[in-house]
Amino acid sequence: MTQFLPRTRLTLCATLVLGGLLAGCDNNSSHTTTPVDRSAAPQKLQVPTLAFDDSSITLAWEKPTAASGEIKDYNVYMNGKLLGSTLDNQDKHSPAKPYIDNFYSKFDADNWHVRVKFHNFTADSTDGLKPDTEYKFTVRTVYADGKESVDIETLTQRTSKTPHVIDVKADGAVDDGTTVNTTVIQNAIDSCTIQAYPQGCKVLLSGGVFKSGAMFLHSDMTFEIAEGAKLLGSENPADYPLGKGYYLYPYVIQGEKLTKRSPSLLNVLEANDHRHTEAGTFKNIRIVGKGSIDGNGWVAGLSTSKPAATFTDELGNELPQIRASSASKVSSDGILAKNQTAAAMAAPDNLTQEDAYKNRRSSMMTLRGVSNLYVGGLTILNPAYHGVMALESENVVMHGLQHKTYDGNNADGIEFGNSQNVMVFNNFFDTGDDSVNFAAGYGAGVEENNQKAQSGAWIFNNYFREGHGAVVAGSHTGAWIEKIVAENNVMYLTDVGLRMKSRPYYGGGARDVLFRDNAMKDIGGNEPFIFTIAYSVDTNDTAPAKQPAQFRDITVYNITIDGSNKKSSIAVDGMTQSAMLDAYTFDLGRDAYHENFDFEDVKFRNVKATAIGFLHNSQFKNVTFENVSGGAQAWSFGEGVSNVKVKGSLNDQTITTTGSQTITLDGATQ
């Protein structure tokens, strides 16, 4: 069993100066002269990129490589003194933790589900942290019998200096929710430079509701929305000037009339409409706070006949409910979305409604070309389009965010495009589209423009509620989406758990993905696992890649899934070469198939049967089913299956097959 797939180390060890940050990290600063077996201790202790300021430091680590028993918790020590346990710390700092606790208390009375483990910790001023001070940390595994492991090697981290703070109210911003403050806040951002304030600089929104149009951040700064404050997007399209917008990819898509997008509410973008931005064009940016950012995209409620603006979730908390909509209904359902679509359809642009809707709605954040980016603590509300987008960036952390965007059209939580080395942890997701999505371009333009792969992601300790998919690769897969680790998450009511989607002629695909130690329940709309190259779009929307899209080297380990009666439990599809030629008029040289899937120790109950086709060289070991819907056989294999092994998981059931395939059942060929 593959324990951990290759991925790039997600740490930043360098001297940084930005909105109040002047610090270095040394992940192995304290060494013993006698070798110590640390395999039972936590591994790779690190401070995630920019996850510290003048009064707090966040740590993360990986689980032991050789645990000596059942892991109960982790203890964190600072300067040799016990700070506390991770479980207690998560109660204070993680918006996901209360929902995860409720999941097990409410839905797992029989202790059937995988129990996720928390492996991050935030130390702050209540623990005695002071500005510009060095601290030494170590972590020990705590086992079920109460015993601790040896220490992980010591990590040394310095808090930042206290930054210069520019409070926008002192500069004349009005927090009445009506006055448009774009110019005042942008002037504060422009003046918040490292040259003016070598100790670091922070722009602060505190108090009430600050309305604004598109704003543009720069390197070496912090932008904070304090607890109780809200940044509210203007509903006026003129406040999001297209001249300051961006192109999603560095090439023109065949058959697409318009590729330029309006800027978001918060942006990191080059001027002059660049179509491609290298990571490092901007650097060292933090977007933080306990406040909220509201895109003002849509009216509330399910429909005009059901106008309730909130609903009550499983914890008894109220969650906002955004009007689900589309291009044809935006005029009745939208606020900013309606106004931007209408403006783009009017002279001089004269766009069709579909093109205007697709390209001119603003997302919440577009952060492009950044090296070292941290977004943490905020609540994301009501975007007109996507939520937080990190494009062509590197060393990116999304930590402790609350994405409350259900059921906004295209309202993804976090979208990464052609970025490298990203971390997503402690987040709460209740989204109108995919929760964490990865994209990498599509079609022939990817190769012609040498786009980088979307490479290196670590997703852990999140609670996924609603959303089309929890962890999603595609549909734009052209430059490859690779090296993803998603572990120790809970997924409840999402349409899909692990979702991979593309079209054959998009090319590339997803590879080197490890999905482990996750619990899933009531997967509501589709399948717990889906790997499809039949993702629907209206037309052949790009020149084709040289080879069909493919998903390969996928490891799914130690997962529990309770409840999914809409479609299949595991869905895998592909196409023959001739079928692709008939459907798209493209000859891509071979069949579209997937390979090297390894499912091990996966438990399903109250689900439908599998529907697996076009899968090669794969195995399913100890994959069990309880109460398959309608009394059907759990396993169903279709066309294009070759060299697939099913081991130790038959539960006295037969396997149904159609078409041409080669399947081995515990050593006997079916």
Whether residue 572 contacts residue 614, with contact meaning beta carbons closer than 8 Å, is answered with yes
User: Distance of alpha carbon 91 from its chain centroid, rounded?
Assistant: 22
Q: Which of 468, 476, 594, 616 is catalytic?
A: 468
Query: Is 239 a catalytic site residue?
Result: no
* Residue 431: exposure state from Cβ atoms within 10 A (0-12, 13-18, ≥19): buried
Angle at 84 between CA 83 and CA 88, to 5 degrees: 140
> Sign (positive/negative) of CA torsion 616, 480, 388, 513?
positive
Whether residue 415 contacts residue 248, with contact meaning beta carbons closer than 8 Å, is answered with no
User: Distance of alpha carbon 266 from its chain centroid, rounded?
Assistant: 18
Percentage helix, strand, coil for the chain under 3-state DSSP, each rounded to 5: 10, 40, 50
CA dihedral 397, 400, 405, 410 (to 10 degrees): 20
Beta-strand ranges (E) seen in 467-587 are: 471-473, 481-487, 490-492, 498-501, 509-521, 529-532, 550-564, 570-572
Beta bridge partners of 595: 552, 616
* Residue 267: exposure state from Cβ atoms within 10 A (0-12, 13-18, ≥19): buried
Query: Is 349 a catalytic site residue?
Result: no
Separation CA 317–CA 326 (nearest Å): 28
Separation CA 76–CA 85 (nearest Å): 6
Beta bridge partners of 472: 437, 499
Q: Which of 294, 412, 430, 433 is catalytic?
A: 433
Angle at 412 between CA 252 and CA 282, to 5 degrees: 60
Buried b (16+ CB within 10 A) or exposed e, 23-43: bebebeeeeeeeeeebebbbb
Angle at 230 between CA 398 and CA 423, to 5 degrees: 0
- Which residues are the active-site residues? 433, 468
